[in-house]
Structure 1
Amino acid sequence: MRDTASVQLPEGGKSRRVYLLLRERISGGIYADGSVLPSEHKLCAEHGVSRVTIRRALDALCQDGLIKKRVGAGSIVRSNRIIDTPLAADMGTLVPQIVRMGEESTARLLSFSYGPAPKTVSSALGLADGARVQTAVRVRDADGAAFSHLTTHVPEKIAQSYSEADLATTPLFQLLERSGVQIGSARQSVTAALASPDVADALGVSVGTALLGLTRVVMDADGSGVEYLSALYRPDMFRLEMSLHRVGDSQDRHWEPITDKDGGG
């Protein structure tokens, strides 16, 4: 795995803001692997900054191995360099905790739209290239303070069963099940992330703040993808707890998580 702790932000607040936004778009599949980033001139106009600022951000992305600069060909995206060999862990009690947080907190809907799925999303959900999804961005609050930033993608055919007003007041899992979806399984990963400008504003933190990132892909009973979740949590307001017990005999003894089937909470 590439050492994410060694990432160095570029100098200057504006350069860092552009760097983090471009990095988020690359990791989220908006700029797909092998594609060409917009020209420096277009990036300057989009972000309202100078060419020096853009070059600092691009240089940092290049040092991270996320883009490759080619004379006359622009900056080529290398999103597969973000994590070469991700570490995997069995987080046996994570789903019940996430569900419980949803029941004990409130969510604010920031955006609701339909459009083509990013490549990362369509690949994870098993959708055809160009397939449309419903994308929603929400912020979840606890005791009046924002602690998570949630982006969900749901195939258009399924999402048409609920409205923007429904999603603003009802947990997505309930809406999916109400539409007839029989949820069969999910896979998820937890990693570290940095707060981009829009996420930082929503969570009330500084740009570049370290966050806990969770990605979850939900499948129905037939193995078809029904939801892609990208969640970012403030680590000062979110704690993952897990109970362990010691199992095995002799030299084969090891720790295992206590899940619901073990009688744990």
Structure 2
Amino acid sequence: MDPSLEPLKARRLALMLRERIASGEIPPGARLASEPALALEHGVSRVTVRRALDSLASEGLIDRRVGAGTFVREAGAPKPIVADFANMLTHLVEMGRRTGVRLISFAYGTPPEAIAQALGLTAGERTQRSVRVRLIDGQPFSYLTTHVPERIGLTYSESDLASVPLLTLLERSGAAVERASQAISATLATPDVAEALGLDIGSPLLSLTRVVFGPDGRGVEHLHALYRPDRYSFQMELHRAGADGDRRWSPVPSHSVQSGSDATAWPSSAAAGGP
């Protein structure tokens, strides 16, 4: 057996078990099969099984009890945040208050050309760039890289950004937030992002890029956000609208805010003050 394949097999087994736990097939409090039984069932070595279980334990999904076995955690594990995609500019300050943040970097400089164009900056205009990790129940779920025009960024300090929701800081600076444009895709975790989010290098991530604009059409924030898909998801409630012959699906605004896999909606951390 090629030893180099063991980490890949362990990753595959961990993903399979995680899906069974997330779907409820293996309910909270249930005891997992023994390492030998899992190895036989999935045709892998016990080393591979041990690596997979170590990964799930590091995510807080299982408890490994010496002499008793391995059990799905009943409480204490971070629940995923469900973001209301249709209501992206709602409850942003509340989102900031109900999650924690770790500021990794804070500096001023010339942004990449693509970001300068997206924000509508003038030639040579600088931005305040920050990198933050947002946490729920003390566990990281998003890696956020934000560019704010220097004229706005100068109104708040590094310590402010580490403790106050960004939307609050933007509004305090006098910058009005009117609309936003955003796109969602998927990507893989680079080494620095993987370390910050507690993942393996190359793990799948949700990727969101958003630009927030003021009433004058000028950009006030550019965000590139990376989310752990096991701790964050988007949802949208839709209803049928329009006259006969022109029926279409239309978003239903939601006003509830809660966390957990059974949540009706969470304010989109994809919105200006959320991250």
Short-chain TM bin: 0.5 to 0.7
Q: RMSD of aligned C-alpha atoms?
A: 2.4
1:244 paired residue number: 238
Q: Alpha carbons of 1:175 and 1:121: their partners in 2 closer, same or farther (altered >3 Å)?
A: same
The AA in structure 2 aligned to 1:137 is V
Aligned partner letter, 1:164: E
Which of structures 1 and 2 has the bigger CA Rg?
2
Q: 1:257 aligns with which of 233, 251, 258?
A: 251
How far the C-alpha of 1:100 sits from its partner, in A, is: 4.8
Any idea what SS the aligned residue of 1:182 has?
coil
1:123 corresponds, among 112, 117, 120, to 117
1:117–1:130 Cα contact (<8 Å) kept: no
Shift in Å at residue 249 of structure 1? 4.6
Please point out which of 124, 140, 148 is paired with 2:142.
148
Equivalent positions of 1:21-170 (< 5 A) are 91-96=85-90, 100-170=94-164
Displacement, 1:99?
A: 5.7
- Letter aligned with residue 119 of structure 1: E
State the alpha-carbon separation in 2 of the partners of residues 161 and 104 from structure 1. Answer: 24
Distance 1:184 1:252, change over 3 A: closer
Percent identity of paired positions between Structure 1 and Structure 2: 51
How much does 1:248 deviate? 3.6
- 1:181 aligned onto 2:149: no
Q: Per-residue displacement from partner, 1:92-127 (whole Å, max 9, x unpaired)?
A: 223437665333211110100111111111010111
Partners of 2:142 and 2:93 lie apart in 1 by: 13
Consecutive unaligned residues of structure 1, counting only runs of 5 or more, are 1-12, 14-90
Deviations 1:183-219 (A, max 9, x none): 2221111111111111110000111111111111111
Matched with 1:75 is none
Distance (Å, rounded) in 2 between the aligned partners of 1:234 and 1:101: 17
Residues 184 and 222 in structure 1, CA contact (< 8 A), matched pair in contact too:
no
Which of residues 199, 203, 207 in structure 1 aligns to 2:201? 207
Q: CA deviation at 1:251?
A: 4.8
Distance (Å, rounded) in 2 between the aligned partners of 1:195 and 1:227: 23
Q: Per-residue CA shift, 1:118-140, capped at 9, x if unaligned?
A: 11110101113432111000000
Distance in structure 1 (CA, Å) of the matches to 2:163 and 2:185: 29
CA distance in 2, matches of 1:98, 1:160: 22
SS of 1:214's equivalent in the other structure is strand
Letter in structure 2 aligned against 1:120: A
Secondary structure in 1 matching 2:148: strand
Normalised by the size of structure 1, how large is the TM-score?
0.61
Q: Which residue identity lines up with residue 176 of structure 1 in the other structure?
A: L
Between the two structures, name the one with larger relative contact order (CA 8 Å, sep ≥ 6): 2
Q: Is the 8 A contact 2:128 2:149 kept in 1?
A: yes
**What does the per-residue CA deviation read over 1:16-63, in whole Å, with 9 as the maximum and x for residues that have no partner?**
xxxxxxxxxxxxxxxxxxxxxxxxxxxxxxxxxxxxxxxxxxxxxxxx
Structure number with higher helix proportion: 1
Say whether the 8 Å CA contact 2:119–2:218 is kept in structure 1. Answer: yes
1:243 positional shift: 1.1
Normalised by the size of structure 2, how large is the TM-score?
Answer: 0.59
